[in-house]
Chain A
């Protein structure tokens, strides 16, 4: 069966520091991968999605970036965090154009 893991689960970072959140999918190949952000009271916002290695599409312009160095690995990064980057980040995968399967989430607090 397929599983998805993301880490770290919680992170407290100062403003201006870098960020790296990692996500790995097991048990499938060539999945579509996604990063969503969930800010308090604002629902889920799609940040990035990828349909293959090295193929990244950005939905929202911001100081975050994403990379897909391997088929089943998806990384969310920032060079300098802002206070507004705080939130709950969710990685997800999809076998195609159907439902998404989510990881456990990473809670980021920027101070």
Chain B
């Protein structure tokens, strides 16, 4: 079984500041990990994914995440926040293989960007 914990339901940063959204996972098998972004009243859009290749994963819109097995973490970062980054972000884990792509999602982190 897998689980995901996102630390902080709300994160607020100033425009141009570092964005750090925290995600810790639990998985009984080597995990696949994902970050999604959701804008109000829209579906989820994939930001990036880790599928056992490079531990530092680069995604769209300048985001990246680092898989740290020893810490069971997959934190999302962006060096400089933009107003358009304001949204809700979800971390998700899949066990791969016979999990048939079923993802377990965290509770989400709402990112607010101040001018």
Contacts and interface: CB of A to CB of B under 8 A. Distances in A.
A34 B102 contact: yes
A46 B94 CA distance: 13
Given A32-B101, A34-B101, A102 B44 contact: yes
B63 to A, nearest CB: 15
B43 A98 contact: no
* Category for how many chain B residues contact A: 20 to 34
A97 B107 CA distance: 22
Interface in A38-52: 41-44, 46, 49, 51
Interface stretch (B14-22, B45-53, B68-76, B79-87): B45-53
Contacts of B42: 104-105
Interface in B1-55: 32, 34, 36, 41-46, 49, 51
B101 A43 contact: no
- Residue of A44, A49, A88, A101 with most chain B CB atoms under a 10 A cut-off: A44
Contacts, number: 63
A100 B103 contact: yes
Interface in B75-115: 90, 94, 96-103, 105-108
Contact of A43 (B32, B43, B90, B96): B90
A87 interface: no
Given A51-B100, A98-B51, A99-B101, 13 more contacts: A32-B101, A43-B90, A88-B41, A97-B32, A97-B99, A97-B100, A98-B32, A98-B49, A98-B101, A100-B101, A101-B46, A103-B43, A105-B42
Interface of A: 32, 34, 41-44, 46, 49, 51, 59, 88, 90, 92, 94, 96-105, 107
Interface of B: 32, 34, 36, 41-46, 49, 51, 90, 94, 96-103, 105-108
12 contacts: A43-B108, A49-B100, A59-B102, A90-B43, A90-B44, A97-B94, A97-B96, A98-B51, A100-B46, A100-B103, A103-B43, A107-B41
